Chains A and B, each alone.
Chain A
Amino acid sequence: MIKSILAYPLQFIVFVLFQVLILNNIQLGGTVNPFLYILFILWLPIELNKVLVMGIAFVLGLSIDVFTDTMGMHASACVFLAFARPSLLNILAPRDGYELNVPPTAGALGWFWFLRYAAIGILLHHSFLFFVEVFRFSEFFDTVGRILASSLFSLVLISLAQVFSSNTEDRR
C-alpha cells in the first residue's frame, strides 16, 4: 500500500514528461495528436474519493497546460473526465459490483471491460478538449473528425501502455 502511494507521484511526473517531450512531437497528418497522460486518471483506484480525483485531475491538466501554453484547456478537460468517471465506473460495473481494492486495469477486470472504459473516457476527454480549443461549433464535422482520429490514436497507445504494465505486474 505504502509502495503504491509512493508510486503515484512518480507515475504522475513520468506521464507529464512523456506527454510534453515525446508525444506532443508526434502528429499524424498534421493535426492528430495522442494524449496518453489521461491514463493516470483512468488508473486511479476505484474507491478513491471522487473529490480528490477531481483535484488530482485539475493539477494534472494544469501541469500539461503549463508546458504547452494552453492555460486551463487541459485542466478543464481533465476535470470533466474526473466528473464523468464515477458514472462511467457505475455503468460498466460487474453485476455484483467491484471487489474491494481492485485496480481499474485490464489485468484485474479483463480486456473487454478495460477497452470500453478507456474508449469512453478518451472520447469524453478529447471531445471536451478539442471543442474548448476551437471554441466554436461552426466547423463541427471537421472537429469531430479530429476528435475521432486522435481518440483512436490515444486508445492504441493506452492499450499498449496497459500491455506493458500488465507484463511487469505478472512478473512480480
Chain B
Amino acid sequence: MSKGLLYDATMCIGCKQCEVACAEQNKLPYTDGIAAESVQSEHKYTVVLTKEDKFMRRLCMHCKQPACASACPVGAFHKTAAGPVVYDVWKCIGCRYCMVACPFNQPKYEWQSLNPRVRKCIMCPDRIAAGKQTACAEACPTGATKFGERDDLIQEAQERIRQNPDKYFNYIYGLNEVGGTSVLLLSSVPVEQFGYPKPQKVGNVPLPEYTGRVMERVPDFVPVWTLVLGGIYWVSHRRDEVAAAEAEEKKNGSAR
C-alpha cells in the first residue's frame, strides 16, 4: 500500500497554486520573485515549467528504490512504506553523494548556509500519516496533480490515455523508470522536452543495483583476500625461515 502522485500536464493551467502550497507546507518564503524562478532550488522544491501553451511540473519522483537512500553513507534518506522518500537532517554530514547519485537531480543544497541541509520534496509525510493528501494535490484547482494509491493512479493514467489517445503522448513516465517511481507523469509531449532525463537514458534498472552488485561482494571478498594475503606472507617468509634453519644446521654439522 504505497501512495503516489499523478501529474497530468494536459489538465494543468500553470496557476502555480502547487508551488504556493508547497512553500507554505514547508515554511519556505514565496514571493513574486520566487514565483518567477523557473528552477528548483533549496527554497523551491517544486516548479511549474511553461513552454508555449504547455506546462510541466518538476518535483522529487520518490523512486521505489531511491539512489539517494542507497548512496547516503549515514542513511539520512529512506523510503517510507507510505511512499515518501524522507530526509533526516540530523544524520547528514554533507557529502552530497545523494545529489550526484539522483538521476532526476532532485536534492538541492543550501550552498550559502554555514550548516547546510539537503532540500527536496518529501511528499508531505506528516499529512499522509494524518490521512490527508499532499499540499500540492489539495491546492490544485483542476486535479492535474492527483494524490492516491500508486496502483490506482497507474490504472487511471492508462484509462485516460485509452479514452483520449490523441490528447496524450502514449507513455506513463515513472511507471518503470529506474524501477518505478511514486510520482507518475502524463503529458501530450515527451517529458524530456522539459528537462526530464530520457527513459532510455535512465533505464528501468533501479540504480542501487549498480553499486549493490559490487557492495554485496565485499563480505565475501574480505575473508578471501585476507587469506590470500596472509598466505603470500607466510610462504614468502617461510622460505627465509627454512633457509636460515638449513644454514644453521649446516654450520652445526660442519662444526661437529
A, B: real partners: no
